[in-house]
Amino acid sequence: MKVALFLLADLWMIFAGYFYGWRLIRRYGNYLLGLEWMVVATSGSNFLLWSLSGADKDSVMYDVAYFFDAFSRSVGITLILIMGLMKVTHRYKPSLGVDVGVFGVAIVAGLVLRPFHGADLHTDRGAFSVAAFYVAANLLTTVFIGFFVKRLWDAGAKRPAIWTGLVTAAGTTIALTYDFFPLTFDDANRTIFYTAALATWGTQGFVYFRAYRTLHDHNASSAAAPAHAGGPVAGTPSTRRESI
């Protein structure tokens, strides 16, 4: 049963990453979020293949898995996520050079930080520092997500705001648990933890996409017609698409 749930969680993350990543690119032209969603999905695909092929730690897929892990934990679901969401919070429009540059930084970060995975945090100060950096990056990102949630709430999209807050809290819990608070009741492969993590990351992709869409529609309706005092225009897409 544990293995089946793990596989389902991974498949969910893969689906959410590719499906909503493509929609972010195709519908909104948001390459930062769209490509990062697809990076997460590709990471999940590699992790799934590695798990099904015997989970050999000497496999190239093992190294690739933790390259993607370092990529997203350091820059992807931190800086790139913030920059992508700023398109609807601050009407930020990055240039092609910025898009390429930030993904280049993420690739370098993945290559540099990947070797620290698996080291003993009690004896390896470098590994401890990297793990602490991941948590700090997540917490700083959470602060911005809090602002994003407030923008949703102020736009009248209360349910998306609540869901975004909940899934972000779950993601932060995963980030804290990842290196510093392993589950004592888990098995040697950390099956329970990875099942929870994959399910959470997939749900983040789904919820953040829906929240992004809601705020995008609210911004579009506000630009098309003056908003009524105290809230969004009645019947605009932001109110029709409030529910997750």
Compute the average pLDDT of residues 232-240.
46
For residue 84, the domain's CATH number is 1.20.1070
Domain that holds residue 81: 2-240
Judge whether residue 195 has pLDDT over 60: yes
Q: What percent of the chain has pLDDT over 70?
A: 92
Looking at residue 42, its amino acid is T
* Structural domain count of the chain: 1
Mean pLDDT of the chain: 90
pTM equals 0.88
Is the pLDDT higher at 119 or at 138? 138
Quick one: CA dihedral 213, 216, 220, 221, positive or negative? positive
Cα 148 from Cα 225, distance rounded (Å): 23
Cα 128 from Cα 36, distance rounded (Å): 26
Coil, strand or helix at 1? coil
Coil, strand or helix at 194? helix
Judge whether residue 31 has pLDDT over 50: yes
Judge whether residue 238 has pLDDT over 60: no
Per-residue H/E/C for 150-185: HHHHHCCCHHHHHHHHHHHHHHHHHHHHHHHCCCCC
From 27, 31, 32, 64, select the one nearest 47 (Cα to Cα).
64
